[in-house]
Structure 1
């Protein structure tokens, strides 16, 4: 494409410069302002929810422009089906995820697909997510959930509501810290969140703000925000360095055993002690730090959101809650015995509750796909090599052509096996797609199903009738200010959880 034709394309639409030659055919919001773009009505703090509204108004593909950047957003099933084709499209690191590289560098989530450390780390870490590894993590997940139950028991006895989002964040951070890295954050012993959580939230919010408002932020505002982010990144790095130092002091490749001694390799053990099975390469120290940050952030932030949304929906739907509790009682029993690893997947209805929660509010709400070669998207939209589009997952998950005339309603039976088989696989994408899909998916689902089962076996959940769901965005999605009141279930024998078992 010549320089003259590029300039001519830019007069029509900046998207042409990003490889969308006929972007004029793609609708955009009304009231677009020349040079500035679609700033009227824009909500920088909630760009995902604003894009969901635009998808309802403009359809399955539309474009948004902010100054010189124009982004094409896609949610139609046919379009997403094409973008999920690994032979034609691949992951692209853009927008807020690119901004997050200041924190996680070339970690698994933020690495470009052609960066060698992505595939090297993926191959080295794959054994950390096998069935055998999940079985090793299970006792620690039970232990951490037991810590949560002791706190929630006290709240239930006092009639005090629990802060769901805060406590789910504590639980999932402690779980990934101990199972993946043999490190205790002592999350339940703290009155305030661990400094790592505070810094992580600041870094995620900064990455999103930078992607959305960078063109309009004044130099002074940008400098102040950058200084704050630098302090957050420094604390994240210092925390991870402490995790790695603690491990190397007791041996590089072994994880903590059941009684605190040397056990099988966990994620950090694999990174420190393993080599690529074919090339013999090792991960460099800088990349190990990036991977640890990636797993600590992504490994707890998204799962805590998924649990929080699931508890919100359960408390709002008493019939669903009762059905889920009945399944837990029937499959696990009502006595004091802790669930075994193989019992967790038997909670099929509880898992459907999780899936339906992730359908309505996928905590990782989007991913970006780029064309490997010049192509035609869904037989309609020309895309040049390198052109990219954002898949807006919450809008995909609400498409009436797939999910029926009432896609906003909460119905776990949408995920009955026969209904899942009747749908294309690409219409449910809470964990991304293709070879860059979340490596920790099975870890997250086992943890979340286990935790929900243990909570449902122990408590009835009561929502505040005045509460209205507010979703906060910091790259991930999370319900804000969600509190529930608990009452112990009379049918359940009291389980005595000993700390630090």
Structure 2
């Protein structure tokens, strides 16, 4: 039956009414900060202030950096992530309050955990509340200095393998995309230190672990869905079904083999097995964050299921291989375009190794103070996680103001922007390891350097990641010289589609073998 004019008129009126209501709802939502007297940035569309970021047109760090400067000189300001209000915090004292002093108000990261449909989402990074606190307490002993020392020989074997496979390329003075090689190295390190598995990624770029690593960080649409919370509502997993099956299978097979053969190793899986079997940690342990003795809280009860076990292994792999490999790669890039820094670092590496019989030992790496400064400056200029957030779990009054933050509003810490603020780091685009002398660090506010976060939710694997990166860089610099090529820009362009800070086109440098004239030990 053909539609009459009356029907068409009614339909048009209904559409107009719905559209008008949507406009009114959006106006009400976008008036959130104005009603509270908070300085804010007007949203540009239904994407809020995040259109270019959410559509993968702009690198997350640089996108937040623009908002950071637009809010100057305010210590904080309201923004909108799509239709959700958030508070961008610029002042280091306020950052300290949120992350440490008043942590009880900001315990969650605000990510959704769906253990039924997405079992790998229930890991330490995502969890909040009592379960996070209990799991954090139980996992902390894995990352103490003593455990790092025990794991170091496993790491060092991977570093020697990396040097061996790169040697022929260096002898031919070839151009290489160093990020891929570093990713293979860190994949092998995580494979052996977490699972006790020889991934062999350095020899076989198509190894299963390396392919899974690539797939995790090459799904911008999945990342977008989960960022705006559509993924949780639509049951879109944080990883692909194939990736989930792979990690579940690897963990299951590893656990079954160890239980059947009574295998004990100094690695992550072994600690998780102890937790699962005993249900508790030792009464006293050394904190991975402070190095101090921490008493176990007997009132913490935590059921360690097989899925939860797999989720912790998964996040250890993801967080461990990608962030360290990008840090190593950015460092190599800076050494290639700053040969004076590279020469000074190599001189220190040679000097320290000469005192240790030419071996890259745990103690040798700890003695390399300039290496520590170089890595710290790399993490300043290229923080792997450009920004992080905390969800308000209890209503909070901003110190010295009448502004009240309510549950579940997020506070966003713009790490990349703070690390590139000339007020804290003069000439921020310059790569200058001297910023991290003891005097340099003491002259700055502690909370303007946040590559691993801070407070109770500081990255639990910080020591592991730093040790892995320092070992890799020291091993490479001791044997090879890196230089710029026509494909090596002075300023890298960041990839807006990457979940962690990464450059478009990788990191291209020339690798050359050292000669006797280079003073190789």
TM-score surpassing 0.5? yes
Q: Partner of 2:124 in structure 1?
A: 108
| Residue 495 of structure 2 is aligned to residue 482 of structure 1 | no
Equivalent residue for 2:406? 384
What residue in structure 2 maps to residue 72 of structure 1?
87
What residue in structure 1 maps to residue 345 of structure 2?
324
SS in 2 for 1:470: coil
Structure 1 residues 78, 125: closer, same or farther in 2, change over 3 A? closer
Give, in angstroms, the shift of residue 400 of structure 1: 2.5
Q: Deviations over 1:363-402 (max 9, x none)?
A: 0222212345433325344323543211111111122322
- What pairs up with 1:18-417 in 2 under 5 angstroms? 22=35, 25-28=38-41, 32-33=44-45, 37-38=48-49, 44-45=55-56, 46-59=59-72, 61-65=76-80, 67-88=82-103, 89-94=105-110, 102=118, 104-112=120-128, 114-116=129-131, 118-192=132-206, 194-202=210-218, 205-211=220-226, 232-251=240-259, 262-274=263-275, 275-277=279-281, 278=298, 283-333=304-354, 337-380=358-401, 381-404=403-426, 406-417=427-438
Q: After superposition, what is the alpha-carbon deviation per residue over 1:264-320, rounded to whole angstroms, capped at 9, x for unaligned?
A: 442111111233134675511110011111111111111111111111111111111
Contact map agreement 1:92 1:388 (CA 8 A) in 2 = no
Question: Residue 470 in 1 paired to residue 486 in 2?
Answer: no
Residues in 2 aligned to 1:253 and 1:12: alpha-carbon distance in whole angstroms: 63
CA distance in 2, matches of 1:433, 1:68: 28
What residue in structure 2 maps to residue 259 of structure 1? Answer: none
When normalised by structure 2's length, the TM-score is 0.80
Q: Secondary structure at the match of 1:476?
A: coil
Residue 179 of structure 1: how far off its partner (Å):
1.1
Please give the root-mean-square deviation of Cα atoms over the aligned residues, in Å. 3.3
User: Over residues 93-151 of structure 1, what are the superposed CA-to-partner deviations in whole Å (9 max), with x where a residue is unaligned?
Assistant: 336x7799947322111112x152x2333233222212221111111111101111112
Return the alpha-carbon distance in structure 2 between the equivalents of residues 362 and 252 of structure 1. Answer: 42
TM-score, normalised by the number of residues in structure 1: 0.82
Q: Which runs of 5+ in 1 are unaligned?
A: 1-6, 255-261, 496-501
Tell me whether 294-303 or 49-58 shows the greater mean CA deviation.
49-58
In terms of Rg, which structure is larger?
2
Do the aligned residues in 2 keep the contact of 1:99 with 1:211 (CA within 8 Å)?
Answer: no
CA–CA distance in structure 1, aligned partners of residues 242 and 157 of structure 2: 31
Structure 1 pair 42–163 and aligned structure 2 pair: CA distance change class (3 A): closer
Gaps of 5+ in 2: 1-22, 282-297
Cα distance in 2 between the residues matched to 1:355 and 1:230: 30
Distance 1:103 1:415 in 2: 41
Structure 2 CA distance for aligned equivalents of residues 290 and 249 of structure 1: 19
SS of alignment partner, residue 71 of structure 1:
strand
Aligned residues: 464
